[in-house]
């Protein structure tokens, strides 16, 4: 057991945020942690970390348990470079390797006390082997490369954005390998490729995981138990997110049935008492029912989950078959060429996911397609409705209701309030200023505006950002039911899987079209070359279009990598054997010098091989 909560209650102003919470986290467990905004998830995490003290109950942690915590908005702060920040994790490994090298140099001295130095070398080698110190640079390169920092080793941390610093903090935590890794929204700021890498890495992580996330795919793949905090109470469910959904629905139904059965029983008992208490012949049996009522432990009426927001997208008339068609174009932003010699066509009724790594230009492309540039041609009767992830079309100082009416003054107040209420904004919310809304409520306001535009072509830039899980699932249902055209960008893989019937990949300055859902796209990327986008005169040629020379170089790289790994293993075995011989022949100066020279040669060869290995992986 790593952490145990025993009947924990905590509140900030007297009213409990969490009440009578009990659960345990065992070694190696993988647990998802769910709860709506403001339910107290962060409070539970701070109690777990010892940053808060319970008002009642106890939080027990395993002695000397190492815990790594990634805050949702907390990044790594430092003055060095990306690589030096990672080297700090391995300070002890660097010290041991340096000490061993120093010891081996001392052993070469004519006046060396070989017995003492041999014993020191043996001790150092044991520590190095136990910590796998020789591989620390490989581990750094693996994590930095997987998390997208492979080309930024020398970048100063001070120049990084908040999102980049959060990713760097996650890199540090992965390398530190704590017994318990607590991750609060770790998939924020990650593109799809990095998400898959992170899932693979965490799948082999030996410690325990406690994950707060809106990424259902991530939760399903990594967690085997789900904790949900709702109305201050914590409930544990077996399984990942998909299993939790089923079990929770069953639990809510069972609680309702139990409550209704008890209410029926109470009603019958009271009715019997009312009819029979005054009768001499039945008074005794009536009193027994009174006693039963008094002894009965009354069940609380179940608090049902709030209804999810509801979205409905509709339009007035269909556009022509081609809703967007471009001439050949180049696209640049900030002096960087994003797309070259590209052509794009979007057909009516398609639901197309635009995917690609961060920084490849997905948002820039969406804005270009809506810019009325002379190279972009729109189908007749095409009516576009755009969802801006930055909510740039909203005035933060405006009242929510006024912001809505400012765009749709012809709507009656009843219709306007109805749309806002269906999206999950309460009567109090609509009287607030836009800037006072949470990120999730601003997103719902933006989606309400999208509904009111009645577009037959929806262009959506990260519509799931800030939405809780029920809202995401409602949006999925609405877009799946929509018979118009959708072009969207999202990092939510379950959302892409649910909505898209085709995928457009933006990669290395080109566009590639995949006709099929997201699962088909992923499978195609793993197995065969993707077909080029129709009518694109210069389709991007990704991994599936490698030339014969490129494939030959890749094969050579794999062969050389295996050769180096085998040679390094051989060198490590020889080094271990030599260190044993060194101890046994400490009195033979000539033999000691021969062994020491060979050890130095082994280390030089190992260093050269590791340097080459890093360039290959």
Chain centroid to CA 392: 25
At 566, give phi and psi (nearest 5°).
Answer: -65, -40
Domain ranges of the chain: 244-295, 322-541, 548-616
Which residues on neighbouring strands pair with residue 322, listed in sequence order? 347
pLDDT recorded at residue 542? 37
Into which CATH architecture does domain 322-541 fall?
3-Layer(aba) Sandwich (3.40)
Give the mean pLDDT of 155-176: 91
Pairing of strands 485-489, 351-355: parallel
φ/ψ bin of 154: left (φ > 0), alpha (ψ from -120 to 50), beta (otherwise): alpha
pLDDT recorded at residue 588? 67
Spatial CB neighbours of 414, under 8 Å, sequence gap ≥ 6: none
Rounded Cα distance between 436 and 429, Å, is 9
Handedness of CA 262, 266, 267, 271 (dihedral sign): positive
Rounded Cα distance between 162 and 169, Å, is 11
Confidence of residue 331 (pLDDT cuts 50, 70, 90): very high
Confidence of residue 551 (pLDDT cuts 50, 70, 90): low
Rounded Cα distance between 341 and 157, Å, is 36
φ/ψ bin of 348: left (φ > 0), alpha (ψ from -120 to 50), beta (otherwise): beta
Rounded Cα distance between 219 and 310, Å, is 24
What string of DSSP letters covers 99-164?
HHHHHHHHHTSTT--HHHHHHHHHHHHHHHHHHTGGGHHHHHHHHHHHTT-TT-TT-BGGGS-HHH
pLDDT recorded at residue 528? 43
Classified as helix, coil or strand, 349 is coil
**567 vs 147: which has the higher pLDDT:** 147
For residue range 246-303, list pLDDT tens digits in order: 999 999 999 999 999 999 999 999 988 888 877 767 778 888 888 889 999 898 888 8
Rounded Cα distance between 162 and 184, Å, is 15
- List the one residue out of 472, 523, 525 whose CA is nearest residue 499: 472
Structure tokens at 575: 């080094």
pLDDT reading at 420 higher than 80 = yes
Q: What is the dihedral of CA 113, 114, 119, 120, to 10 degrees?
A: 60
Structure tokens at 215: 């990424």
pLDDT recorded at residue 401? 87
**554 vs 31: which has the higher pLDDT:** 31
- List the one residue out of 377, 379, 382, 380 whose CA is nearest residue 315: 382
Contact in structure between 195 and 102 (CB atoms under 8 Å): no
Rounded Cα distance between 323 and 383, Å, is 9
What string of DSSP letters covers 476-508?
HHHHHH--SEEEEE-S-HHHHHHH-SEEEEEET
Distances in Å between the alpha carbon of 496 and those of 186, 476, 492, 502, 563? 19, 9, 6, 10, 41
pLDDT recorded at residue 568? 78
Spatial CB neighbours of 332, under 8 Å, sequence gap ≥ 6: 338
Q: What's the chain's average pLDDT?
A: 87
Handedness of CA 153, 154, 157, 163 (dihedral sign): negative
- Other beta carbons within 10 angstroms of residue 23's beta carbon come to 18
pLDDT recorded at residue 537? 36
Rounded Cα distance between 319 and 537, Å, is 26
For residue range 558-571, list pLDDT tens digits in order: 778 778 878 877 88
Give the mean pLDDT of 390-410: 81
Rounded Cα distance between 504 and 422, Å, is 32
Confidence of residue 177 (pLDDT cuts 50, 70, 90): very high
For residue range 436-473, list pLDDT tens digits in order: 888 888 899 999 999 999 999 999 999 998 888 999 99
Classified as helix, coil or strand, 313 is coil
pLDDT reading at 413 higher than 50 = yes
């Amino acid at each position: 057991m790593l952490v145990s909560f025993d009947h924990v209650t905590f509140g900030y102003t007297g009213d409990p945020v969490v009440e009578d919470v009990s659960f345990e986290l065992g070694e190696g467990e993988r647990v998802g942690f769910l709860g709506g905004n403001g339910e107290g998830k962060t409070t539970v995490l701070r109690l777990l970390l010892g940053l808060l003290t319970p008002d009642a109950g106890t939080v027990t942690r395993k002695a000397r348990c190492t815990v790594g915590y990634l805050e949702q908005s907390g990044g790594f702060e430092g003055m060095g470079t990306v690589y030096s920040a990672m080297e700090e994790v391995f300070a002890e490994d660097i010290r041991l390797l340096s000490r061993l090298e120093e010891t081996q140099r001392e052993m070469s001295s004519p006046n060396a006390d070989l017995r003492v130095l041999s014993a020191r070398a043996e001790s150092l080698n044991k520590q190095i082997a136990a910590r796998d110190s020789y591989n620390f640079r490989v581990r750094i390169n693996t994590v930095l490369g997987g998390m997208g920092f492979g080309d930024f080793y020398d970048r100063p941390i001070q120049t990084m954005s908040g999102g980049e610093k959060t990713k760097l903090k996650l890199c540090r935590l992965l390398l530190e390998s704590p017994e318990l890794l607590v991750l609060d929204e770790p998939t924020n700021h990650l593109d799809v490729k990095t998400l898959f890498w992170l899932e693979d890495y965490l799948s082999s992580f030996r410690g325990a995981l406690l994950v707060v996330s809106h990424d259902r795919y991530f939760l399903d793949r990594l967690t085997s138990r789900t904790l949900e905090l709702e109305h201050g109470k914590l409930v544990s469910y077996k399984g990942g997110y998909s299993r939790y959904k089923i079990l929770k629905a069953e639990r809510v139904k069972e609680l309702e049935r139990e409550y209704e059965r008890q209410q029926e029983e109470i009603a019958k008992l009271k009715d019997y008492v009312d009819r029979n208490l005054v009768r001499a012949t039945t008074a005794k049996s009536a009193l027994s029912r009174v006693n039963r009522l008094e002894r009965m432990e009354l069940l609380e009426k179940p608090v049902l989950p709030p209804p999810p927001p509801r979205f409905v997208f509709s339009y007035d008339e269909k556009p022509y078959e081609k809703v967007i068609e471009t001439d050949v174009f180049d696209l640049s932003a900030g002096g960087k060429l994003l797309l070259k010699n590209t052509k794009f066509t979007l057909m009516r009724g398609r639901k197309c996911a635009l995917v690609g790594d961060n920084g490849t230009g997905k948002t820039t492309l969406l804005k270009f397609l809506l810019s009325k540039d002379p190279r972009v041609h729109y189908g007749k009767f095409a009516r576009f409705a755009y969802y801006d992830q930055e909510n740039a079309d909203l005035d933060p100082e405006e009242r929510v209701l006024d912001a809505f009416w400012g765009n749709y003054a012809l709507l009656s107040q009843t219709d306007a309030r109805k749309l806002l209420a269906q999206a999950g904004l309460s009567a109090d919310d609509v009287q607030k200023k836009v800037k006072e809304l949470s990120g999730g409520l601003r997103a719902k306001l933006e989606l309400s505006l999208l509904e009111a535009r009645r577009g037959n072509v929806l262009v959506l830039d990260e519509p799931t950002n800030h939405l809780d899980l029920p809202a995401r699932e409602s949006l999925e249902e609405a877009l799946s039911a929509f018979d118009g055209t959708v072009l969207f960008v999202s990092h939510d893989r379950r959302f892409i899987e649910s909505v898209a019937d085709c995928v457009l990949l933006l990669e290395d300055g080109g566009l590639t079209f995949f006709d099929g859902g997201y699962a088909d796209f992923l499978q195609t990327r793993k197995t065969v070359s993707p077909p080029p986008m129709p009518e694109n005169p210069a389709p991007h040629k990704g991994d599936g279009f490698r030339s014969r020379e490129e494939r030959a170089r890749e094969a050579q790289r794999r062969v050389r990598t295996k050769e180096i790994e085998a040679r390094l293993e051989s060198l490590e075995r020889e080094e271990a054997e030599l260190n044993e011989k060194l101890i046994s022949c400490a009195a033979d100066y000539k033999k000691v010098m021969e062994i020491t020279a060979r050890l130095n040669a082994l280390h030089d060869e190992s260093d050269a091989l590791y340097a080459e290995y890093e360039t290959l992986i």
